[in-house]
């Protein structure tokens, strides 16, 4: 059992959890994730480790409510426990001194970009961070990410905060502006990562994306997370989650992420109605 030590509402339907798991905290590296299972009936979902504190023995995860499991997670509070937190999983983001690196985090990918930006900075890179959200109130972790960045940009789709437009538009401006950029790292919704790759492709600018497909065991055993990279099938859980974005078949990934849309809707409906009738807490 893993105890929730703190919970913070970051934005509508986005919560941050501080979880006690000293062994994982000691080992976690930027880019890695954990698998969380709430209780006996829960499914296993992968969540990126958004931060970790080795001394305090904690990790931070940020959850955006989408399906039944994330909605159930969101209802948990300080002092509640999670049945399982398994990790750290996946290959850590490869860290080296490249020069200038753009770190792009969109939507629910804003928090996960933080440890990566911090890591690259610790390796002596100049870090340009861009975070993008639909609207102002969904912009999270602004100060945290700013604090590990040399340059920092915000975009919102509706222009309510930062520059109006997509994160990829801002990236386009930065790339066009010249300057030596050695690497772009992107994490967030699949469509956003694809857009980032389309910006950098003509410049042959190396782009690493952190993929988030459906997983079950997340240790290489089931193959649910398979994705085509450079024409070869890879398992994101053990071969990734980071891949060369220019090689990823995003259409296939998008399609595979939608496999259980119908079931997810059904699960959420029966959960909501149970909640309304007070059968569940």
Residues that bind other proteins (CB under 8 A): 23-24, 27, 37, 41-44, 68-69, 72, 83-89, 216-217, 219-224, 226-228, 233, 238, 251-252, 255-256, 258-260, 263-264, 266-267, 270-271
Q: Which is nearer to other proteins, 49 or 110 (CB)?
A: 49
How far is 90 from 281, CA to CA, in rounded Å? 33
- Closest separation between CB of residue 248 and other proteins, Å? 12
Q: How many CA within 13 A on the CB side of residue 190?
A: 17
How far is 13 from 75, CA to CA, in rounded Å? 10
End-to-end CA distance of the chain: 19
Cα–Cα distances in Å, from 198 out to 81, 162, 172, 208, 231?
42, 22, 10, 12, 18
DSSP state string for 19-38? EE-HHHHHH--TT-EEEEE-
- Closest separation between CB of residue 208 and other proteins, Å? 20
Q: Which is nearer to other proteins, 68 or 121 (CB)?
A: 68
- Closest separation between CB of residue 249 and other proteins, Å? 8
- Closest separation between CB of residue 98 and other proteins, Å? 25
Residue 189 and residue 107 in contact, taking contact as beta carbons nearer than 8 Å: yes
Residue 256 and residue 214 in contact, taking contact as beta carbons nearer than 8 Å: yes
Q: Which is nearer to other proteins, 157 or 264 (CB)?
A: 264
Q: Which is nearer to other proteins, 98 or 238 (CB)?
A: 238
Q: Which is nearer to other proteins, 92 or 188 (CB)?
A: 92
- Closest separation between CB of residue 24 and other proteins, Å? 7
């Amino acid at each position: 059992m893993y105890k929730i030590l703190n919970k913070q509402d970051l934005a509508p339907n986005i919560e941050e959890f501080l979880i006690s798991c000293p062994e994982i905290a000691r080992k976690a590296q930027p880019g890695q994730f954990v698998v969380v299972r709430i209780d006996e009936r829960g499914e296993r979902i992968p969540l990126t480790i958004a931060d970790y504190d080795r001394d305090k023995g904690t990790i931070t995860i940020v959850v955006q409510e989408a399906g039944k499991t994330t909605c159930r997670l969101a209802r948990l509070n300080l002092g509640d426990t999670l049945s399982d937190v398994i990790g750290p999983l996946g290959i850590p983001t490869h860290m080296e001194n490249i020069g200038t690196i753009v770190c792009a985090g969109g939507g629910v990918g804003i928090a996960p970009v933080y440890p990566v930006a911090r890591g690259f900075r610790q390796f002596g890179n100049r870090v340009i961070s861009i975070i993008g959200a639909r609207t102002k109130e969904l912009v999270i972790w602004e100060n945290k990410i700013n604090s590990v960045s040399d340059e920092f940009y915000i975009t919102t789709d509706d222009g309510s905060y930062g520059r109006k437009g997509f994160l990829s538009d801002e990236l386009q401006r930065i790339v066009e502006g010249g300057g030596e950029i050695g690497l772009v790292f992107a994490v967030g919704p699949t469509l956003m990562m694809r857009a980032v790759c389309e910006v950098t492709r003509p410049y042959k600018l190396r782009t690493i994306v952190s993929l988030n497909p459906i997983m079950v065991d997340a240790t290489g055993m089931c193959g649910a997370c398979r994705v085509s990279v450079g024409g070869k099938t890879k398992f994101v859980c053990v071969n990734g989650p980071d891949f060369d974005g220019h090689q990823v078949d995003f259409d296939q990934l998008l399609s595979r992420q939608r496999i259980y849309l119908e079931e997810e809707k059904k699960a959420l409906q029966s959960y909501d109605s149970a909640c309304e009738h007070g059968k569940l807490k």
